[in-house]
C-alpha cells in the first residue's frame, strides 16, 4: 500500500492498495494552511484505509502498519508550502522504516488527465500542466501521452514563465494549456506504484522549488556589544 502526500498547491493525502484501488483520499484546498492540517489529514487517511481494509478487501486492518511506501509530491511549488509535505512524507517513512518515492507533482496531474482521456479513446494528447506560481508567473510542464509503463511522457521539465508570455511559449511547444488548481494524491501514489513496478525513478530527492526563499543568511555576522 502506498501513501501519497502533496502540498504543492493545497494539501492532499491518499492511500492506494497494490492494485491501485483508492483506500483513502482526503485533502484541503487551502493553499496556505498546510502545516495546520497535514497531521489531521494523515491520521484521517490512514484510519480510513484501515477501515476499508477491514471490510472485505482481504488486506489486514492495521492501516498505518500496512503502508509500504510513501509517495512525496516534489513540486514545482512554493518553498514554504512544498517543504511541509515533503517533510511529512519523510518523517512518516522514517518512523516506519519504509522508502520515500519522489514524484513530480505535475506528473500526478498529467496522469489523471491522460487516464481520463484514455478511457475516452484519446491517446495522442499533447498538453501543458500549468500551475499558478504567483508573482505574475506560471509553472508549466509539457506532456505527450502515456509510455509503456503507464506513466506520462514528459516533453519538458518544469519551468517558470512570466504570465504574459505563457500562451506564446506553449504555442511554440505545440501544447494545449491545462491549468491545475489541485494535485490528486491517489494519482501521485499511482505514479509511484507504476514507477516502482518498472524500476524507474521519476524525480530526485531535491524539491522542485519555484524560486529561492526570500529570506537569506546575512553576509556578515552582527557585532555584539
Q: What is the CATH number of the domain that holds 154?
A: 3.30.420.200
Instruction: Work out the number of other CB atoms within 10 angstroms of the CB of residue 128.
Output: 26
pLDDT at 115 over 60: yes
Residue 191 lies in a domain: no
Claim to verify: residue 92 and residue 131 sit in the same structural domain: no
Give the residue numbers spanning the domain of 69. Answer: 2-104
pLDDT at 158 over 80: yes
pLDDT value, residue 54: 58
pLDDT value, residue 211: 73
The CATH number of the domain holding residue 64 is 3.30.420.40
Residue 221 lies in a domain: no
Q: What is the pLDDT of residues 12-67, one digit of tens each?
A: 999 999 888 999 999 988 777 888 899 999 999 999 998 876 555 454 444 556 89
Claim to verify: residue 6 and residue 61 sit in the same structural domain: yes
Claim to verify: residue 92 and residue 166 sit in the same structural domain: no
Residue 75 lies in a domain: yes
pLDDT at 215 over 50: no
More confident of the two residues 218 and 93: 93
Claim to verify: residue 156 and residue 100 sit in the same structural domain: no
Claim to verify: residue 38 and residue 71 sit in the same structural domain: yes
Residues 6+ apart with CB under 8 A from 33: 11
The answer to whether residues 41 and 109 touch, using CB atoms and an 8 Å cutoff, is: no
Residue 189 lies in a domain: no
If one counts the domains in the chain, the total is 2
Mean pLDDT of 108-130: 93
Amino acid at each position: 500500500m502506498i501513501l501519497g502526500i502533496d502540498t504543492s498547491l493545497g494539501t492532499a493525502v491518499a492511500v492506494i492498495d497494490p492494485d491501485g484501488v483508492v483506500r483513502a483520499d482526503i485533502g484541503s484546498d487551502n493553499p496556505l494552511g498546510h502545516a495546520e492540517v497535514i497531521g489531521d489529514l494523515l491520521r484521517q487517511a490512514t484510519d480510513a484505509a484501515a477501515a476499508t481494509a477491514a471490510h472485505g478487501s482481504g488486506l489486514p486492518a492495521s492501516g498505518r502498519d500496512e503502508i509500504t511506501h510513501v509517495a512525496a509530491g516534489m513540486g514545482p511549488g512554493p518553498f514554504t508550502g512544498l517543504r511541509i509535505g515533503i517533510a511529512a512524507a519523510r518523517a512518516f517513512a522514517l518512523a516506519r522504516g519504509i522508502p520515500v518515492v519522489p514524484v513530480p507533482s505535475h506528473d500526478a496531474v498529467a496522469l489523471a488527465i491522460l487516464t481520463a482521456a484514455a478511457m475516452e479513446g484519446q491517446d495522442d494528447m499533447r498538453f501543458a500542466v500549468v500551475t499558478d506560481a504567483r508573482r505574475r508567473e506560471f509553472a508549466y510542464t509539457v506532456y505527450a501521452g502515456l509510455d509503456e509503463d503507464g506513466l506520462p511522457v514528459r516533453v519538458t521539465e518544469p519551468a517558470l514563465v512570466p504570465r504574459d508570455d505563457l500562451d506564446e511559449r506553449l504555442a511554440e511547444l505545440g501544447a494545449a494549456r491545462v491549468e491545475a488548481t489541485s494535485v490528486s494524491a491517489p494519482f501521485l501514489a499511482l505514479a509511484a506504484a507504476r514507477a516502482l513496478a518498472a524500476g524507474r525513478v521519476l524525480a530526485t530527492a531535491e524539491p522542485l522549488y519555484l524560486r529561492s526563499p526570500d529570506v537569506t543568511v546575512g553576509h556578515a555576522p552582527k557585532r555584539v556589544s
